[in-house]
Amino acid sequence: MGKSISRLVQQISNYSGLKESDSLARKLEFILKGLSENDLDQWVQSIELDPYKQELPALVEDLNNHETYFFRDEAQMRILETKILPEMVKRKLLAGDKSIKIWSAACSSGEETYTLAMMLLKTFIDEKLSVKLHEGLILPPHGWLIEINGTDISRQVICKAKEGIYESAGNGLSSFRNFPPAYMEYFTLSKEYEDTLGNKKKIYRVNEVLKSFVNFDVFNLNSPMPPKSGYDLVLCRNLMIYLHDEAQEKVQRVIKSSLSPGGMFMFSAVDKLCNSVGIETHREMGCVYYEKM
């Protein structure tokens, strides 16, 4: 690894929390292979001297893995749909609090955020707080304030999330793999076509009812403070594995500080909780989730 690449890896790690690794260095070498060693050295030096690190966001976008899809992780989706969200709504009703705030952190291209919105709307319908009209159109719960936020460090994927346009393909790698058919009513088919290999593909658009409950913004989880506070539920999945230990602790502090007392949060199955002080761990239905005490 060249000295300039090594310095750049360190800058990226400090900015985003990504682990310093040979794999990260190799990706950078490939992305920047057109630069001479002298030009690369000068560019890295300019980044080191820039307090705002303006050059790094676009580079981090190229390095991140944005692989995701709707209803990812069946066990987690099941407990959210059958336990966490229904109990949250019932608890709010008992407390006379008609507000729900959910944060999909590191949301990538938005599939997770829209999934949470769909499941919450189903919960309101099941509890007879909303009326389902037809084909994904519902009367929102009267008097409730619902806020479902999706954030990501990448401007590129946040733009895609805001568009709400997703592809369904027969190769098993689309946004709609393992998608429950009942939820397709929240999408409008906008295009069907065959690619050059003869694979049939469909383009779907998120309907306006679903879009009205969500908003997206760029946010670096390596920041000292959350974008908002008072959340009832936070999901931050498939991120920690890419972060170094200090960044994991920092991100988890940010998530905890964003939650209301009694708020829940969930990581992916391979992630560990760095500090359990003030946190109750729940193990049910094949997954783990946490509650802020």
Is residue 66 predicted with pLDDT exceeding 90?
Answer: no
Is residue 87 predicted with pLDDT exceeding 90?
Answer: yes
Task: Write out pLDDT tens, residues 152-209.
Answer: 999 999 999 999 999 998 766 689 998 999 999 999 999 999 888 888 889 999 999 8
Give me the helices (H) in the chain, please.
3-16, 22-31, 37-49, 56-63, 74-79, 85-95, 111-126, 155-163, 208-211, 245-258
Domain 74-165+208-292 has CATH 3.40.50.150: yes
Task: Write out pLDDT tens, residues 109-122.
Answer: 999 999 999 999 99
- Closest C-alpha among 79, 147, 137 to residue 117: 147
pTM check: above 0.85: yes
Residues contacting 184, CB < 8 A, separation 6+: none
Residues paired with 233 in a beta bridge: 102, 264
Q: Which amino acid is at 216?
A: F
Q: For 116-136, what is the mean pLDDT?
A: 91
- What pLDDT, on a 0 to 100 scale, did the predictor assign at position 260? 97
Domain ranges of the chain: 3-62, 74-165+208-292
**Residue 225 buriedness (CB in 10 A; 0-12 / 13-18 / 19+):** exposed
Is residue 226 predicted with pLDDT exceeding 70?
Answer: yes
Is residue 1 predicted with pLDDT exceeding 60?
Answer: no
- What pLDDT, on a 0 to 100 scale, did the predictor assign at position 172? 64
- What pLDDT, on a 0 to 100 scale, did the predictor assign at position 171? 62
- What pLDDT, on a 0 to 100 scale, did the predictor assign at position 198? 82
Q: For 255-262, what is the mean pLDDT?
A: 97
Cα angle for residues 45, 50, 52 (degrees, 5° grid): 145
- What pLDDT, on a 0 to 100 scale, did the predictor assign at position 17? 95
